[in-house]
Protein backbone atom coordinates (compact mmCIF):
# COMPACT_ATOMS: atom_id res chain seq x y z
CA UNK A 1 0.00 0.00 0.00
CA UNK A 2 1.17 3.52 -0.80
CA UNK A 3 2.45 5.54 2.13
CA UNK A 4 2.45 9.31 1.72
CA UNK A 5 4.35 11.88 3.72
CA UNK A 6 1.19 12.90 5.48
CA UNK A 7 -2.52 12.20 5.76
CA UNK A 8 -4.73 15.11 6.82
CA UNK A 9 -6.63 14.87 10.11
CA UNK A 10 -10.41 14.78 9.73
CA UNK A 11 -13.13 14.52 12.37
CA UNK A 12 -15.89 11.92 12.27
CA UNK A 13 -18.23 12.97 9.45
CA UNK A 14 -21.23 13.15 11.79
CA UNK A 15 -19.35 15.48 14.10
CA UNK A 16 -18.74 17.80 11.15
CA UNK A 17 -22.37 17.59 10.00
CA UNK A 18 -23.53 18.59 13.48
CA UNK A 19 -21.17 21.54 13.42
CA UNK A 20 -22.33 22.85 10.04
CA UNK A 21 -26.07 22.15 10.52
CA UNK A 22 -26.83 25.65 11.95
CA UNK A 23 -25.17 27.26 8.92
CA UNK A 24 -27.98 25.92 6.72
CA UNK A 25 -30.54 27.67 8.89
CA UNK A 26 -28.79 30.99 9.44
CA UNK A 27 -27.42 31.15 5.87
CA UNK A 28 -24.36 32.88 7.28
CA UNK A 29 -21.80 31.22 5.05
CA UNK A 30 -18.86 33.57 5.48
CA UNK A 31 -17.79 37.09 6.56
CA UNK A 32 -16.71 36.31 10.13
CA UNK A 33 -19.91 34.63 11.32
CA UNK A 34 -20.59 32.51 14.42
CA UNK A 35 -18.27 29.60 13.48
CA UNK A 36 -15.43 31.99 12.71
CA UNK A 37 -15.89 33.72 16.08
CA UNK A 38 -16.16 30.40 17.92
CA UNK A 39 -12.96 29.04 16.38
CA UNK A 40 -11.12 32.33 16.90
CA UNK A 41 -11.96 32.27 20.61
CA UNK A 42 -10.94 28.63 21.04
CA UNK A 43 -7.70 29.01 19.06
CA UNK A 44 -6.71 32.16 20.91
CA UNK A 45 -6.93 30.15 24.14
CA UNK A 46 -5.26 27.02 22.73
CA UNK A 47 -2.32 28.92 21.23
CA UNK A 48 -2.06 31.13 24.32
CA UNK A 49 -1.83 34.33 22.27
CA UNK A 50 -3.28 37.77 23.06
CA UNK A 51 -4.90 38.38 19.66
CA UNK A 52 -5.67 36.32 16.58
CA UNK A 53 -7.05 37.09 13.12
CA UNK A 54 -7.94 34.21 10.80
CA UNK A 55 -7.55 34.02 7.03
CA UNK A 56 -8.41 31.91 4.02
CA UNK A 57 -4.92 30.38 4.14
CA UNK A 58 -1.55 30.82 5.80
CA UNK A 59 0.02 32.50 2.82
CA UNK A 60 -2.52 35.32 2.71
CA UNK A 61 -2.20 35.64 6.49
CA UNK A 62 1.53 36.24 6.01
CA UNK A 63 1.01 38.74 3.18
CA UNK A 64 -1.56 40.62 5.30
CA UNK A 65 0.75 40.62 8.34
CA UNK A 66 3.46 42.34 6.31
CA UNK A 67 0.96 44.85 4.90
CA UNK A 68 -0.64 45.53 8.29
CA UNK A 69 2.78 46.50 9.66
CA UNK A 70 2.92 49.21 7.00
CA UNK A 71 5.77 47.64 5.07
CA UNK A 72 4.05 47.05 1.71
CA UNK A 73 5.62 48.86 -1.23
CA UNK A 74 8.12 50.70 0.94
CA UNK A 75 10.84 49.16 -1.24
CA UNK A 76 12.59 47.94 1.89
CA UNK A 77 14.56 44.79 2.55
CA UNK A 78 13.30 41.92 4.66
CA UNK A 79 15.83 39.47 6.09
CA UNK A 80 14.59 35.89 5.94
CA UNK A 81 15.85 32.35 5.46
CA UNK A 82 15.75 30.28 2.26
CA UNK A 83 15.30 26.90 3.97
CA UNK A 84 11.50 27.09 3.94
CA UNK A 85 8.43 26.66 1.81
CA UNK A 86 8.27 29.12 -1.09
CA UNK A 87 5.31 30.92 0.53
CA UNK A 88 7.64 32.70 2.99
CA UNK A 89 9.80 34.30 0.31
CA UNK A 90 6.88 34.98 -2.05
CA UNK A 91 4.98 36.84 0.69
CA UNK A 92 7.88 39.29 0.96
CA UNK A 93 8.33 39.76 -2.79
CA UNK A 94 4.58 40.07 -3.45
CA UNK A 95 4.51 42.96 -0.97
CA UNK A 96 7.00 44.82 -3.17
CA UNK A 97 9.85 44.13 -0.75
CA UNK A 98 13.26 42.60 -1.31
CA UNK A 99 14.08 39.28 0.37
CA UNK A 100 17.60 39.21 1.82
CA UNK A 101 18.72 35.71 2.69
CA UNK A 102 20.31 34.86 6.02
CA UNK A 103 21.79 31.40 6.46
CA UNK A 104 20.43 28.89 8.95
CA UNK A 105 21.99 26.99 11.85
CA UNK A 106 23.14 23.44 11.14
CA UNK A 107 21.57 22.09 14.36
CA UNK A 108 17.93 23.21 14.19
CA UNK A 109 17.80 24.74 10.68
CA UNK A 110 16.40 28.09 11.88
CA UNK A 111 17.84 31.57 11.22
CA UNK A 112 21.42 31.95 12.48
CA UNK A 113 21.33 35.11 14.63
CA UNK A 114 25.13 35.38 14.40
CA UNK A 115 24.82 35.98 10.66
CA UNK A 116 21.85 38.30 10.96
CA UNK A 117 23.31 41.62 12.04
CA UNK A 118 25.80 41.82 9.15
CA UNK A 119 22.87 41.76 6.70
CA UNK A 120 21.11 44.77 8.20
CA UNK A 121 21.36 47.91 6.04
CA UNK A 122 19.58 51.27 6.12
CA UNK A 123 17.01 49.69 3.79
CA UNK A 124 16.11 46.85 6.16
CA UNK A 125 12.55 47.13 7.45
CA UNK A 126 11.86 43.71 8.96
CA UNK A 127 13.09 40.24 9.86
CA UNK A 128 11.01 37.23 8.81
CA UNK A 129 12.43 34.05 10.39
CA UNK A 130 10.82 30.61 10.13
CA UNK A 131 10.13 28.13 12.94
CA UNK A 132 10.99 25.41 10.45
CA UNK A 133 9.63 21.90 11.25
CA UNK A 134 8.25 23.45 14.46
CA UNK A 135 11.82 24.09 15.70
CA UNK A 136 11.70 27.39 17.51
CA UNK A 137 13.99 30.15 16.22
CA UNK A 138 16.37 31.75 18.70
CA UNK A 139 13.62 34.24 19.52
CA UNK A 140 15.58 35.88 22.36
CA UNK A 141 18.54 36.76 20.12
CA UNK A 142 16.46 37.71 17.08
CA UNK A 143 14.01 39.90 19.00
CA UNK A 144 16.94 41.63 20.77
CA UNK A 145 18.68 42.42 17.46
CA UNK A 146 15.39 43.69 16.01
CA UNK A 147 14.81 45.94 19.00
CA UNK A 148 18.32 47.38 18.77
CA UNK A 149 17.81 48.26 15.09
CA UNK A 150 14.10 49.13 15.43
CA UNK A 151 13.00 46.47 12.97
CA UNK A 152 9.70 44.64 12.80
CA UNK A 153 9.74 40.88 13.31
CA UNK A 154 7.23 38.54 11.72
CA UNK A 155 7.64 34.85 12.47
CA UNK A 156 6.56 32.26 9.93
CA UNK A 157 5.06 29.88 12.50
CA UNK A 158 3.28 27.77 9.85
CA UNK A 159 4.87 24.66 11.38
CA UNK A 160 4.67 25.69 15.01
CA UNK A 161 1.02 25.11 15.93
CA UNK A 162 0.86 24.37 19.66
CA UNK A 163 4.63 24.63 20.17
CA UNK A 164 5.57 26.28 23.46
CA UNK A 165 8.83 27.82 24.60
CA UNK A 166 9.29 27.91 28.39
CA UNK A 167 5.53 27.48 28.63
CA UNK A 168 4.80 30.43 26.30
CA UNK A 169 2.97 29.82 23.01
CA UNK A 170 5.09 30.17 19.86
CA UNK A 171 2.82 32.98 18.62
CA UNK A 172 3.96 35.41 21.32
CA UNK A 173 7.28 36.49 19.85
CA UNK A 174 8.15 39.39 17.56
CA UNK A 175 5.40 41.70 16.30
CA UNK A 176 3.34 39.03 14.57
CA UNK A 177 3.35 35.29 13.88
CA UNK A 178 1.65 33.47 11.04
CA UNK A 179 0.12 30.01 11.50
CA UNK A 180 -1.01 27.78 8.63
CA UNK A 181 -4.05 25.54 8.94
CA UNK A 182 -3.50 23.84 5.59
CA UNK A 183 -4.71 20.24 5.25
CA UNK A 184 -1.16 18.93 5.62
CA UNK A 185 -0.38 20.75 8.86
CA UNK A 186 -0.75 19.48 12.45
CA UNK A 187 -4.07 21.31 12.77
CA UNK A 188 -6.19 22.05 9.71
CA UNK A 189 -9.25 23.99 8.60
CA UNK A 190 -8.87 22.39 5.11
CA UNK A 191 -7.24 25.63 3.93
CA UNK A 192 -6.73 28.34 6.47
CA UNK A 193 -4.33 30.39 8.50
CA UNK A 194 -4.03 33.06 11.14
CA UNK A 195 -1.93 35.95 12.37
CA UNK A 196 -1.20 36.15 16.10
CA UNK A 197 -0.21 39.54 17.50
CA UNK A 198 -0.04 41.46 20.74
CA UNK A 199 -0.81 45.09 19.86
CA UNK A 200 -4.62 45.52 19.65
CA UNK A 201 -4.02 48.38 17.21
CA UNK A 202 -3.59 45.73 14.49
CA UNK A 203 -6.95 44.09 15.20
CA UNK A 204 -9.03 46.38 13.01
CA UNK A 205 -6.30 46.68 10.38
CA UNK A 206 -6.08 42.92 9.78
CA UNK A 207 -9.86 42.64 9.87
CA UNK A 208 -10.19 45.26 7.15
CA UNK A 209 -7.31 44.08 5.01
CA UNK A 210 -8.75 40.59 4.52
CA UNK A 211 -11.96 42.28 3.31
CA UNK A 212 -10.52 44.45 0.49
CA UNK A 213 -9.34 47.06 2.97
CA UNK A 214 -12.90 48.38 3.40
CA UNK A 215 -13.00 50.91 6.25
CA UNK A 216 -16.56 52.09 6.83
CA UNK A 217 -17.57 53.40 3.41
CA UNK A 218 -14.02 54.12 2.37
CA UNK A 219 -10.95 52.14 1.33
CA UNK A 220 -7.62 53.52 2.46
CA UNK A 221 -5.35 50.47 2.21
CA UNK A 222 -5.76 48.16 -0.80
CA UNK A 223 -6.58 44.64 0.37
CA UNK A 224 -7.62 41.38 -1.31
CA UNK A 225 -10.39 39.01 -0.25
CA UNK A 226 -8.73 36.66 2.23
CA UNK A 227 -11.55 35.79 4.63
CA UNK A 228 -12.00 32.37 6.23
CA UNK A 229 -15.51 31.02 5.56
CA UNK A 230 -17.83 29.30 8.04
CA UNK A 231 -17.37 25.77 6.68
CA UNK A 232 -13.62 25.92 7.16
CA UNK A 233 -14.04 27.41 10.60
CA UNK A 234 -16.41 24.53 11.48
CA UNK A 235 -13.80 22.03 10.31
CA UNK A 236 -11.34 23.77 12.62
CA UNK A 237 -13.72 23.62 15.58
CA UNK A 238 -14.03 19.85 15.06
CA UNK A 239 -10.33 19.21 14.48
CA UNK A 240 -9.35 21.30 17.49
CA UNK A 241 -11.32 18.92 19.77
CA UNK A 242 -8.95 16.12 18.73
CA UNK A 243 -5.68 17.94 18.16
CA UNK A 244 -4.07 16.86 21.43
CA UNK A 245 -4.73 13.22 20.55
CA UNK A 246 -3.33 13.83 17.06
CA UNK A 247 -0.14 15.33 18.51
CA UNK A 248 0.22 12.43 20.98
CA UNK A 249 -0.17 9.96 18.11
CA UNK A 250 2.46 11.81 16.09
CA UNK A 251 4.78 11.70 19.06
CA UNK A 252 4.45 7.90 19.25
CA UNK A 253 5.34 7.64 15.54
CA UNK A 254 8.38 9.89 16.03
CA UNK A 255 9.54 7.76 18.94
CA UNK A 256 9.29 4.65 16.78
CA UNK A 257 11.50 6.34 14.14
CA UNK A 258 13.98 7.43 16.81
CA UNK A 259 14.28 3.87 18.14
CA UNK A 260 15.34 2.58 14.73
CA UNK A 261 17.28 5.50 13.27
CA UNK A 262 19.02 7.39 16.06
CA UNK A 263 22.69 6.65 16.45
CA UNK A 264 23.05 5.32 12.89
CA UNK A 265 26.28 6.82 11.51
CA UNK A 266 25.51 9.38 8.80
CA UNK A 267 21.86 9.83 9.76
CA UNK A 268 20.66 12.76 11.83
CA UNK A 269 17.23 13.17 13.38
CA UNK A 270 16.12 16.53 14.67
CA UNK A 271 16.60 16.63 18.45
CA UNK A 272 14.06 18.43 20.64
CA UNK A 273 15.26 21.84 21.75
CA UNK A 274 15.87 22.92 25.35
CA UNK A 275 12.77 24.47 26.91
CA UNK A 276 10.63 23.72 23.85
CA UNK A 277 7.45 21.65 23.95
CA UNK A 278 7.31 20.26 20.41
CA UNK A 279 4.32 19.41 18.19
CA UNK A 280 5.85 16.55 16.17
CA UNK A 281 4.83 18.27 12.94
CA UNK A 282 7.59 16.78 10.78
CA UNK A 283 10.12 13.97 10.82
CA UNK A 284 13.13 15.45 9.04
CA UNK A 285 15.94 12.99 8.35
CA UNK A 286 19.35 14.31 7.35
CA UNK A 287 21.51 11.97 5.32
CA UNK A 288 25.24 12.62 5.18
CA UNK A 289 26.23 10.81 1.98
CA UNK A 290 29.89 10.33 2.97
CA UNK A 291 29.20 8.77 6.35
CA UNK A 292 26.00 6.94 5.46
CA UNK A 293 27.28 5.60 2.15
CA UNK A 294 24.17 6.72 0.28
CA UNK A 295 22.80 10.15 -0.56
CA UNK A 296 19.44 11.63 0.43
CA UNK A 297 18.29 11.23 -3.16
CA UNK A 298 19.33 7.57 -3.25
CA UNK A 299 17.40 6.86 -0.03
CA UNK A 300 14.45 8.88 -1.33
CA UNK A 301 14.41 6.87 -4.56
CA UNK A 302 14.71 3.56 -2.69
CA UNK A 303 11.65 4.52 -0.63
CA UNK A 304 9.79 5.59 -3.76
CA UNK A 305 10.48 2.22 -5.38
CA UNK A 306 8.65 0.68 -2.40
CA UNK A 307 5.69 3.08 -2.87
CA UNK A 308 6.75 5.14 0.16
CA UNK A 309 6.60 8.85 -0.59
CA UNK A 310 8.86 10.99 1.57
CA UNK A 311 9.18 14.67 0.60
CA UNK A 312 12.26 16.73 -0.10
CA UNK A 313 11.27 19.57 2.24
CA UNK A 314 12.90 21.98 1.41
CA UNK A 315 14.58 21.42 -1.92
CA UNK A 316 15.47 23.56 -3.76
CA UNK A 317 16.05 26.27 -1.16
CA UNK A 318 13.85 29.25 -2.06
CA UNK A 319 16.86 31.36 -3.14
CA UNK A 320 17.64 28.65 -5.70
CA UNK A 321 14.31 29.13 -7.50
CA UNK A 322 14.61 30.86 -10.89
CA UNK A 323 12.39 33.76 -9.85
CA UNK A 324 14.94 34.73 -7.17
CA UNK A 325 18.04 34.07 -9.28
CA UNK A 326 19.02 37.75 -9.26
CA UNK A 327 19.17 37.80 -5.43
CA UNK A 328 21.09 34.58 -4.96
CA UNK A 329 24.69 35.71 -5.21
CA UNK A 330 24.26 38.79 -3.01
CA UNK A 331 24.03 36.74 0.17
CA UNK A 332 25.10 33.12 -0.16
CA UNK A 333 23.62 30.58 2.26
CA UNK A 334 25.89 27.51 2.14
CA UNK A 335 24.33 25.77 5.16
CA UNK A 336 20.84 26.01 3.68
CA UNK A 337 22.15 24.86 0.29
CA UNK A 338 23.71 21.79 1.84
CA UNK A 339 20.70 20.98 4.06
CA UNK A 340 18.34 21.20 1.11
CA UNK A 341 20.38 18.43 -0.54
CA UNK A 342 20.59 16.24 2.57
CA UNK A 343 17.19 16.46 4.28
CA UNK A 344 13.88 14.78 3.56
CA UNK A 345 10.74 14.47 5.64
CA UNK A 346 9.59 10.94 6.39
CA UNK A 347 5.92 9.93 6.51
CA UNK A 348 4.35 11.12 9.75
CA UNK A 349 0.67 11.22 10.68
CA UNK A 350 -1.84 9.93 13.15
CA UNK A 351 -2.62 6.37 12.11
CA UNK A 352 0.79 5.50 10.64
CA UNK A 353 1.35 2.08 12.21
CA UNK A 354 4.44 0.73 13.94
CA UNK A 355 4.66 -1.92 11.21
CA UNK A 356 4.70 0.79 8.55
CA UNK A 357 7.43 2.71 10.40
CA UNK A 358 9.42 -0.53 10.60
CA UNK A 359 8.98 -1.06 6.85
CA UNK A 360 10.11 2.51 6.10
CA UNK A 361 13.17 2.12 8.35
CA UNK A 362 14.03 -1.25 6.79
CA UNK A 363 14.23 0.43 3.38
CA UNK A 364 16.27 3.35 4.73
CA UNK A 365 18.75 1.04 6.45
CA UNK A 366 18.97 -1.62 3.70
CA UNK A 367 22.43 -1.68 2.21
CA UNK A 368 21.77 -0.97 -1.46
C1 LIG B 1 2.36 25.75 4.69
C2 LIG B 1 3.33 26.86 4.79
C3 LIG B 1 3.02 28.19 4.48
C4 LIG B 1 1.76 28.60 3.80
O5 LIG B 1 0.60 28.19 4.42
P6 LIG B 1 -0.70 27.85 3.55
O7 LIG B 1 -1.75 27.72 4.61
O8 LIG B 1 -0.44 26.58 2.82
O9 LIG B 1 -0.96 28.98 2.64
C10 LIG B 1 3.97 29.17 4.74
N11 LIG B 1 5.16 28.88 5.24
C12 LIG B 1 5.52 27.61 5.52
C13 LIG B 1 6.87 27.37 6.11
C14 LIG B 1 4.64 26.56 5.28
O15 LIG B 1 5.02 25.31 5.51
Q: Is the pLDDT of residue 122 over 80?
A: yes
The number of the ligand 1 atom at minimal distance from the alpha carbon of 182 is 7
Task: Check whether the bond before 74 is cis (ω within 30° of 0).
Answer: no
- Distance in Å, CA 130 to ligand 1 centroid: 10
Reported as a single tens digit per residue, the pLDDT across 40-94 is: 999 999 999 999 999 999 999 999 999 999 999 999 999 999 999 999 999 999 9
Confidence label for 233 from pLDDT (cuts 50, 70 and 90): very high
Reported as a single tens digit per residue, the pLDDT across 176-205 is: 999 999 999 999 999 999 999 999 999 999
- What is the arithmetic mean of pLDDT over 323-347? 94
Residue 51 phi/psi, 5-degree rounding, is -140, 150
Residue from 109, 156, 340 whose mutation best tests the ligand 1 pocket (most atoms within 8 A of CB):
156
Q: What share of the chain is helix, strand, coil (3-state, %, to 5)?
A: 40, 15, 40
In the Cβ-directed half-sphere of 43, how many Cα atoms lie within 13 Å? Answer: 31
CA 35, 41, 46, 52 torsion: positive or negative? positive
Strand order in the sheet with 51-55: 51-55, 193-197, 176-180, 152-156, 124-128, 77-80, 98-101
- Distance in Å, CA 116 to ligand 1 centroid: 23
- Distance in Å, CA 178 to ligand 1 centroid: 9
Using a 10 angstrom Cβ sphere, with 0-12 exposed, 13-18 middle and 19 or more buried, the burial of residue 291 is exposed
β pairing state of 124-128 and 152-156 = parallel
CA angle centred on 184, ends 54 and 14, rounded to 5°: 80
Q: Is the pLDDT of residue 323 over 70?
A: yes
Q: What was the pLDDT predicted at 367?
A: 76
Report the C-alpha gap between 67 and 223 in whole angstroms.
Answer: 9
Task: Spell out which residues line ligand 1, taking CB within 6 angstroms.
Answer: 57-59, 84-85, 87-88, 130, 156, 158-159, 180, 182, 193
Q: What was the pLDDT predicted at 328?
A: 81
Which residue's C-alpha comes closest to atom 10 of ligand 1?
Answer: 87
CB-CB contact of 154 with 69 (8 Å): yes
Looking at the chain, list the stretches that DSSP marks H as alpha helix, in order from N- to C-terminal side: 13-26, 34-47, 58-68, 86-93, 113-116, 139-148, 201-209, 230-261, 289-292, 296-305, 325-328, 334-342, 354-365
Residue 316 phi/psi, 5-degree rounding, is -70, 160
Which residue's C-alpha comes closest to atom 6 of ligand 1?
Answer: 58
DSSP code of residue 55: E
- What is the arithmetic mean of pLDDT over 250-276? 96
- Distance in Å, CA 31 to ligand 1 centroid: 23
Q: What was the pLDDT predicted at 368?
A: 61
3-state secondary structure 12-41: CHHHHHHHHHHHHHHCCCCCCCHHHHHHHH
Confidence label for 329 from pLDDT (cuts 50, 70 and 90): confident
Amino acid sequence: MSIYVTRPSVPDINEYLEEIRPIFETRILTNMGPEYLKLKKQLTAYLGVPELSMFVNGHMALEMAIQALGLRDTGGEVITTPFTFISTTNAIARNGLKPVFCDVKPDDYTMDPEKLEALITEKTVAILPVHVYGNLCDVDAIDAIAKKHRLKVIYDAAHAFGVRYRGVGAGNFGDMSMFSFHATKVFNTIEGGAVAFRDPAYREKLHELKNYGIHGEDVTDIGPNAKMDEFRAAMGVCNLRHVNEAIAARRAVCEAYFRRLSGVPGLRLCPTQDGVEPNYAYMPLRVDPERFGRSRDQVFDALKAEDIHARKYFYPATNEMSCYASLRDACPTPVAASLSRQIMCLPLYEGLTDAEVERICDVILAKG
